[in-house]
Amino acid sequence: MKAIQVGVMGLGTVGGGVFEVLRRNQEEIRRRAGRGIEVTMVSRRDVAKARALVGDAAQVVADPRAIIANPEIDIVVELIGGYDLARELVLEAIAAGKHVVTANKALLAVHGTEIFEAARAKGVMVAFEAAVAGGIPIIKALREGLTANRIQWLAGIINGTTNFILSEMRDKGLDFDVVLKEAQRLGYAEADPTFDIEGVDAAHKATIMSAIAFGIPVQFDKAYIEGITKLGAADIRYAEQLGYRIKLLGVSKRRDSGIELRVHPTLVPSKRLIANVEGAMNAVVVQGDAVGSTLYYGKGAGSEPTASAVIADLVDVTRLHTADPQNRVPHLAFQPDAMSPLPILPMDEVITSYYLRLRVADQAGVLAKVTGILAAANISIDAVLQREADEVCAEGGEPQTDVIILTHDTREGTMNAALAQMQALPTVLAPITRIRKEELN
């Protein structure tokens, strides 16, 4: 049978990997897909660079729309990134009757509803395994492997750049900026690395996973997002002393009244497998009612790991493109007319536990006032760590100390009110650090 024809729009880190892995493993892939998969057209603004990579094996164009216009192309792969041009190109490809494969989580987290509806109406597939956790087949697992389960929660390290930064800072004592530059050199970071360090990229991925896990529309605008830029070395150290590691987690949980969707630095018990995921590696824990806890681990970024997921989608589309569209796996796992009306909960309604660090005057009764506020708010304390006053002392001033408090679960709104009262105490000398904690058990 004639090979299926693929056009790749964007031949950068991921596009280059797709071309290379397809070329290297073409025979193995053909045996799995039932026919060859050939990249016959690629686009890149810098045409000379693209030619240097693909040689005569594919037609090189500067304009990605030339790929969509080519009637010979069956599948269009979007690897340009970003929101606007990518959205236009994907919608145009769908309108032209092409199946689409994309690694673009930003696009799907924001415009997914429009794109999936356009694809459904046209009877084509939009596949996006590479959009979440790079090479880890987490979309396949959530959408198909766990389909028997009522999923209760998921939590993941889903941004390689920030995990790499946190690991290198902790292990090697390197500065934030130095490690970020290295992540960029290695091709992990987004074109705009603020997306990585401010938690936006992880929120894109958490949004997509929550939609598939709970059968809700993609709602990136409702996600709570906090990155790692304000994280201090002292908190990483104190967390270790208390038996925790700090990770940037994407968390989504089902509650009776709605779905939690949030990305923030999180204390995770050091004994959990996910707490030991280091470097640019990603991992996602999914809790289902039947299967219990499952863990998915692997490379979440980089040229060939991401290409692995893109090509898995190409094989899926090749196998299924002649199937009746009604019998294909729905884009978001649930049938479009059976989506859940559960809302994304406002952050005040989220229930979690907390790490608090307070810089206080080292005087009698200070701790009692702080714990009194927590007790009055019905917030139960799990552990308290107080530093020796002479370890933390303002130069020439009154002795000060850091008090670290771990709490049990409470409503975020309740914690916010208690924090405001604690902050107003004259003996609390600096802004209180609050980091959320997840036991993941």
377 binds ligand NDP (CB under 6 A): no
Residue number, 64 or 305, with CB nearest to ligand HSE: 305
Among 167, 306, 407, 410, binds ligand NDP (CB under 6 A): 306
101 binds ligand NDP (CB under 6 A): no
Give the CA count within 13 Å in the CB-facing half-sphere of 270.
10
Residues of this chain that bind ligand HSE (CB under 6 A):
134, 159-161, 188-190, 196, 201, 300-301
H or E segment to which residue 266 belongs = strand 258-269
Residue found under tokens 């640019």: 280
DSSP codes of every residue in 44-96: -SSHHHHHHHHTTSSEEES-THHHHH-TT--EEEE-S-SSHHHHHHHHHHHHT
User: Of these partners, ligand NDP, ligand HSE, none, which one is at the site of residue 196 (CB under 5 to 8 Å by kind)?
Assistant: ligand HSE
Dist CA 3 CA 36 (whole Å): 4
Dist CA 63 CA 59 (whole Å): 12
Residue number, 74 or 196, with CB nearest to ligand HSE: 196
205 catalytically annotated: yes
User: Of these partners, ligand NDP, ligand HSE, none, which one is at the site of residue 215 (CB under 5 to 8 Å by kind)?
Assistant: none
250 binds ligand NDP (CB under 6 A): no
Active-site residue, selected from the candidate residues 98, 105, 140, 205: 205
Write the burial class of residue 327 (CB in 10 Å: 0-12 exposed, 13-18 middle, 19+ buried). exposed
Angle, alpha carbons 288-215-88 (nearest 5°): 130
Residue number, 15 or 258, with CB nearest to ligand NDP: 15
User: Of these partners, ligand NDP, ligand HSE, none, which one is at the site of residue 104 (CB under 5 to 8 Å by kind)?
Assistant: ligand NDP
User: Of these partners, ligand NDP, ligand HSE, none, which one is at the site of residue 200 (CB under 5 to 8 Å by kind)?
Assistant: none
Among 3, 53, 66, 85, binds ligand NDP (CB under 6 A): 85
SS3 424: coil
103 binds ligand NDP (CB under 6 A): yes
* Phi, psi at 42, each rounded to 5°: -135, 155
Residue number, 186 or 384, with CB nearest to ligand HSE: 186
DSSP codes of every residue in 369-417: HHHHHHHHTTPPEEEEEE--GGGSB-TTSSBEEEEEEEE--EEHHHHHH
Q: Which residues are catalytic?
A: 205
Return residues touching ligand NDP (CB under 6 A): 10-15, 43-46, 64, 79-81, 85, 103-104, 130, 134, 187-188, 190-191, 301-302, 306
